Amino acid sequence: MDSQIEKLIDAALNKAVRASGPVKLYHGKYDEEGLFAKRNGVDRKAAIHGFGTEPPLWSEEPRSSTNHVLLVRLEPGGLERLVEQTNSAARKKLIESASELYRRELLERWSDLAAFHKWESDFPDIAEVAEGLIDGLQKLVPASSQPPAEKRLNGDEADFKRRMAHELVIAWKYAPTAEAKQSIANALKNSGIQQIGKPGEQLSMDGGLHRCEGPAFPGDPVEVAESGWLVHDGVGEFLLEKAIVKLI
């Protein structure tokens, strides 16, 4: 594919992911709200290409008349392309700019693909992203388990904190070395995210917080194999990752 078309498509996807719903395919005469500036030439080729990929990058919204503005919606194929082409250093910026409609989908796709990422080569970038995420979390709420009532987050802020914390947990879960994992674990704890058990710690089985490698009943003695994580987001508690335990 022509490199100019590639650039136009990438720019369109980054604009579409910020929209809270359908967005115009082409700019109007006096605005720049659409994904593409022109209805002909290389812009048209890029727009048409997005409909023809498998899966498509965007889809046309129903119109009651051919005279009505052509609106399109970002499709899973477009999100996949964003995920594949966004390196770890750029993820935080993309997550922050994405609309509420697409943030969770982006994080879920990164989580699904995490096992295939080259975390070892990406780790310096992941560490940089972690620092930025921590700064964002600490601006939202103090690093305490129960923030004071006057500083409780609203729903949107709480949801965003959960997603930022989830991104950190993904990086922790697939860190390539013990040192890298510990570094991210420290970052999680420093940002007020609660650790569920420490490796080797003996606890009573709690199905809400623990995932056992064998059959276990509530209250059974278990040993933590891998920690879990829980975030207090100012609205309530949100489980990010269950602790993995084994029967003693």
Same domain, 143 and 237: yes
Q: Which of 23, 49, 82 is the last residue of a domain?
A: 82
Residue 17 dihedral angles phi and psi, to the nearest 5°: -70, -15
CA 54 to CA 74: how far, in whole Å? 14
pLDDT digit string (tens) for 135-153? 555 554 444 444 433 345 5
Same domain, 72 and 127: no
Q: Which of 82, 114, 141 is the last residue of a domain?
A: 82
Q: What is the pLDDT of residue 114?
A: 54
Residues 75 and 112: beta-carbon distance below 8 Å: no
Same domain, 36 and 110: no
Same domain, 241 and 130: yes
- Tokens 């004071």 — which residue? 148
Residue 58 host element (H or E): strand 58-60
pLDDT digit string (tens) for 92-116? 788 778 887 887 788 777 766 555 5
Low-confidence spans in the chain with pLDDT less than 50? 119-120, 140-151
Same domain, 123 and 166: yes
Buried-state track 3-28, b at ≥16 Cβ within 10 A, e below 16: eebeebbeebbbbbbebeebbbbbbe
Number of domains the chain contains? 2
Q: What is the pLDDT of residue 204?
A: 94
Same domain, 119 and 96: yes
Q: What is the DSSP letter of 17?
A: T
Q: What is the pLDDT of residue 124?
A: 54
Q: Mean pLDDT of all residues in the chain?
A: 79
Q: What is the pLDDT of residue 16?
A: 95
Q: What is the pLDDT of residue 96?
A: 78
Residue 150, domain extent: 86-247
- Count of residues making up the chain: 248
On the question of a cis peptide bond just before residue 199, with omega within 30 degrees of 0, the verdict is no
Same domain, 70 and 95: no
Q: Which residues contact 64 (CB under 8 A, 6 or more apart)?
A: none
Same domain, 101 and 28: no
Same domain, 66 and 164: no
Q: What is the pLDDT of residue 66?
A: 61
Query: What ranges make up the beta strands (E) of 66-213?
Result: 71-74, 193-196, 202-204, 210-212
Token representation of residue 75: 């499709």
Same domain, 141 and 55: no
CA 16 to CA 65: how far, in whole Å? 23
Same domain, 237 and 128: yes
Q: What is the pLDDT of residue 106?
A: 81
Q: Which of 82, 116, 140 is the last residue of a domain?
A: 82
Same domain, 90 and 186: yes
